[in-house]
Amino acid sequence: MKIIVQVCVLLTVLAFGYSASSTWGIHNATDSIILNKRVFYPAIRNTIQTYYFDVPESYQSNNKVISAIYLQDQFQNSSGPSNFLYAGGPGWTFASIQMRTQTGFGLNVTFVIYGK
Ligand SMILES: *[C@@H]1O[C@H](CO)[C@@H](O)[C@H](O)[C@H]1NC(C)=O
Ligand SMILES: *[C@@H]1O[C@H](CO)[C@@H](O)[C@H](O)[C@H]1NC(C)=O
Ligand SMILES: *[C@@H]1O[C@H](CO)[C@@H](O)[C@H](O)[C@H]1NC(C)=O
């Protein structure tokens, strides 16, 4: 019985570690939302897809310093992408994020970005 409980705890930890949502930085109450956006790409069979998300977006500008980036996986079932902030981010006025889907899955995420 005890072993079963421990296995469950372990699985929960693993599932949590696998979460496809990512957070960079923190924001406080005085920060404003620079961007709030949903991004969706359909699945392609047997394929890992790589997408990039940039702040500011093409043809937009941003002069606020980013304090936090919240990338929320809308699948919420461990099928979301792995995410990597490879340029800018908190402390900068720009950010570039790479999202890599799992094989055969698309992605459906929301970005909420705060700045001051
Ligand atoms: C939020 O951050 C600003 C700028 O760094 C700071 O002046 C302010 O005191 C902070 N507010 C809170 C509630 O922490
Ligand atoms: C993305 O996820 C949201 C929340 O689960 C859902 O309402 C929406 O329909 C999804 N978008 C697409 C294009 O599947
Ligand atoms: C996770 O949810 C998405 C959207 O609802 C779905 O397309 C996908 O097949 C699910 N993944 C698993 C492993 O069930």
DSSP 27-82: --TT-EEEEEEEEEE---TT---EEEEEESPTT----SPEEEEEEEESS-SS-S-E
Distance from the first to the final alpha carbon of the chain: 52
Q: What is the number of other CB atoms lying within 10 angstroms of the CB of residue 83?
A: 21
Residues having CB closer than 6 A to ligand 2 are 40, 74, 108
Residue owning the nearest CA to atom 14 of ligand 3: 77
Length, in residues, of the chain: 116
Q: Write the pLDDT tens digit of every residue in 83-110.
A: 999 999 999 999 999 999 999 999 999 9
79 lines ligand 3 (CB under 6 A): yes
Atom of ligand 1 at shortest range from CA of 28: 1
What's the predicted TM-score (pTM) here? 0.81
Q: Write the pLDDT tens digit of every residue in 21-46.
A: 999 999 999 999 999 999 999 999 99
* Residue 25 structure tokens: 């930085």
Q: How far is the CA of 75 from the centre of ligand 3 (A)?
A: 6
Distance CA 85, CA 53 (A): 10
